Amino acid sequence: MIASLAAREARSVVCVDIAGAYLNAAMSEQEVLMRLDRTMSAILVKIKPEYKSFLCDDGSMIVRLDKALYGCVESAKLWYDELCGALLDLGYTRNAVDQCVFNKGVGPNQCTVCVHVDDLMITCCENAIIDALLAGLTDKYKTLTVHRGNVHSYLGMTWDFTVARKVKVTMEGYVDDILKSYDVKGTAATPASSNLFELRESEELNEESSTVFHSRTMKLLYL
């Protein structure tokens, strides 16, 4: 919907990636401890020799997290709260229906920010408003990857705004990756075979095969 509105209103579209996003968010007040393995602990001691006294007998080390880390249950929420606060400070309002969409009205222009973890799609008719937002985010988070132009890669999709007042959305790269990953051969008019509704007895998949099956299913559902 955001892309179609951007096309209809001839908005500029900019996609942004915020480097090391989670590490910008402080951990919650609840103490979170993590054990570093021997290799990581040895590297840390080499960098900070004074930490040697904290090594355990097996060479590992227990550390307390100060920043949100990928893999922690609460990290995504902590990062969202951090980014949300930054956008609110920059004058943006969170959409009441979709909390990953933020808007700001500047005169006759509206700037819209669509958030997916650390990937942002920003649309606005006035480039100066987008530039002001990017300046504010850079001041806060330092390292941004910014992509401008008429064609964008965002969330596995290609968004093509080349034709005025239109947007074309494709996933050719994503599809090609799936076909190559699973060595797909041949074509079919429909994924439904003639025995689609027949119940068949079969052995349960082992853990490895089950993981592959779930991965394939989720990739197809996303497509």
* Residue-wise burial string across 137-164, b where 16 or more C-beta atoms lie within 10 A, e elsewhere: beebbeeeeeeeeeebebeebebbbeee
Residues 94-144 pLDDT 10s = 999 999 999 999 999 999 999 999 999 999 999 999 999 999 999 999 889
Residues 35-69 pLDDT 10s = 999 999 999 999 999 999 999 999 999 999 999 98
Binning pLDDT at 50, 70 and 90, where does residue 28 land? confident
Would the pLDDT of 194 be above 90? no
By percentage, how much of the chain surpasses pLDDT 70?
100
Q: How far apart are the first and last CA of the chain?
A: 17
pTM of the model: 0.80
Contact (Cβ atoms closer than 8 angstroms) between residue 24 and residue 79: yes
Report the alpha-carbon angle 113-118-120, nearest 5. Answer: 25
Binning pLDDT at 50, 70 and 90, where does residue 217 land? very high
Contact (Cβ atoms closer than 8 angstroms) between residue 51 and residue 159: no
Binning pLDDT at 50, 70 and 90, where does residue 164 land? very high
Would the pLDDT of 191 be above 80? no
pLDDT value of residue 212: 92
Please give the residue that has the higher pLDDT: either 94 or 187. 94
